Structure 1
């Protein structure tokens, strides 16, 4: 492999900027459609995973059939550009005492040149009340998680009008409240299909801006990402203890990527990165993907309203409880949807991030190497101090066509290095860190 030599700490002046798009798809997001979708989902009464599968107007089955019909309607509008599938498994668990079918509703928009590279956007369609086993009571599930499903349906409507290099998968998942089963169904399906999963964007509780304590924040969305990888082996963990990487899982670098993108999407919603896999003591459908080694993050509101999630519909001491549509903030949901749409478009067009390695042992320079990436016309090399949260604003090497660089006078002990891939059109991938477990593929492949 050829090498480029660079005297550190010089930063090459040529920065990578995203190419101007003729029509940003996020501009087409409709707040009215989001409201109508949430209203429709609430109208099914309950969407509990164990509720009726056959009732035409009430229960999980009716909700799933409606979501599938919406995907098919969107597909018809784009010339049948979506393939609608409904993967399922029969499962039991602590919250599913008798075998039950868990069915996901999935629409696939195939990429034009790299259809096996997949980005997934998802929300869960099931709902619950205070008793997680109560299948009869009304469980509107407006914010948790009709908001996420509405976001997914709207993303499909908007993005299906455009073409992308890679594949976008839109999914309404079942069984989340009973044990993250819908996420597992789709993660297993992705593995069975042999997909190269670039990123999973899980949207769960994304439609409210005020907390149960009265504090409101409609200017931020939280983005959760894991630190140490869920699929780490003893070998990977031992290597990370020696060489670093605790803060550089693929999910964490997706989080950095989306946070960096957010300012160009809208000026009134910023990403608050939360560096843990999920909220304290809680879980979401990104988890089954992480366990299989697929990069995944979770979007959620800046502040949660616990009086209006997982609650029976009631009033007590002047306080109303229940996850109802009147407690939602639809301008906020539209902002979160726009950010998801822009992120999906950027990720779907970008090549896969490389799988770099860095060698700086007992020398005054650092060698960074990686294998060529399909669809990449060039690469940029990035750095940050080991105690810094974000990559430096400019790459240390920009747009090289080589797959190895020698960074003269850059003592690798003091730095985390990473590499991004850039397509011929200028679409740039997230940075993959040159640390143990930093590559965007399951560690079982190593």
Structure 2
């Protein structure tokens, strides 16, 4: 049974929550109270609560059939979802949530492969915030499985918070799986459900009524990054500006809703940049939207090392016998018909301990600021064996685990960012396998790559240049640069330098030079350092209009005191009757507003923190904008 709650912003991105509704028994009856009426009821309760709200992402609620005979229902659905290319952000599984061993604290044992760690982290975070007396412990599933595996096996992330991996209900799969002996703690089931509500609501993102920019995309060029996006799906009303964020800091503000392109020229090789864009709206219900999707890039990445093992081990050290890694011996994993490294505990059977490191040659990683290990691997595990990626800073040092790998149904490509500690001149990487002296299965590794970038030093470029025509001049503002070697800001108009400023904190300029009515001027700025001149900032184009079409002239309005000490009221006077005064913060959110209907008045600002604000004064037909600086006592 499937129920779909359509997302308001990203209807084609999905959060899935489910549990199986079938039960089985070794006896005549199979009531299945804990396994899994408890989980199914939890899914239904989550749906009841969340269906009353609107979310950015689509939520799919599922009750699976035939889990007890091999994950049949969820396996079929997840396989079809993968074939259809569904963008499933994550899956939460509810299976057996009602039994608590006497004397135990409220907790869950988390079952998830390492590939689903981002979902585990999110679950732990929301439980810590909203269900504070519900511990999340690491668990190991022995002798069974559940529907989260269907999602992990099809390339999605799935997690399974379980009542207890060792002390679960002893009554499942019997006619005693009843409320009372088996579902013996309704409060535990409630906590599982509360955690599920918090997790799904957080992952699906509650819609705040403000539509974000859509479909942010990135193009990496040699010396810059091009960003482009689509306008909000329903965001034309009261639109004010786009805010472009890089690594969670605003680097540009764009005031035209149709201007959906930004070029970031302030980049360095070897640095990873994460971008997103928001939309700011005015009005009574205005503010800043949720972020768009995030796009990321690491500049200057290139493949520096590659081992395909076609003609041998290519410098890698292995045992090359049936007690460890072997070269050129195929195992029963789909997706690769070439030579590779493999182990096969199943082939040698019990009595032979298969354990070995496949060790790389020494690699000089010291010249790189960032490096990734990419490889193809496959592993059919047997719960008792282990397979991991490790490194050491030089031969003879102790191995340090990078990541414990997850089982797969065939070869898959995997990527790991190497920690800074691994970037030495004598680094070694290895794939470690140990069947722990049990009769296990097999694994393989192929096409190992190092992808890295050298860090380059570039001169910092001034950010977030803005411009506007005010009375008899054009006013420019920008964000300051750091003070390392700074000499001057250079102001360019129509590609010709018109001014320079030697004070690093002076980040405004009023252009009054030979301005022509109705003409549009294009500006950018740079910074000069002891080492030379930086690249150019973003460009802004401003049409000079000294009369002021549709705007109340600034010289007819007085705002005082400005700067304003924190706690005082801002006062204003004008030559015309003022209808309203609104104060915005730099994110475009309304922080104060008042109705006036007279040419003078004041606005209380005691609740505002020190900082920069924008004051908008409206008359019947015109408006003017003033920057307001509130200072600390």
TM-score, normalised via structure 2 length: 0.36
| Larger relative helix fraction | 1
| Larger relative strand fraction | 2
Larger radius of gyration: 2
Relative contact order (C-alpha < 8 Å, sep 6+): which is higher?
A: 1
TM-score, normalised via structure 1 length: 0.50
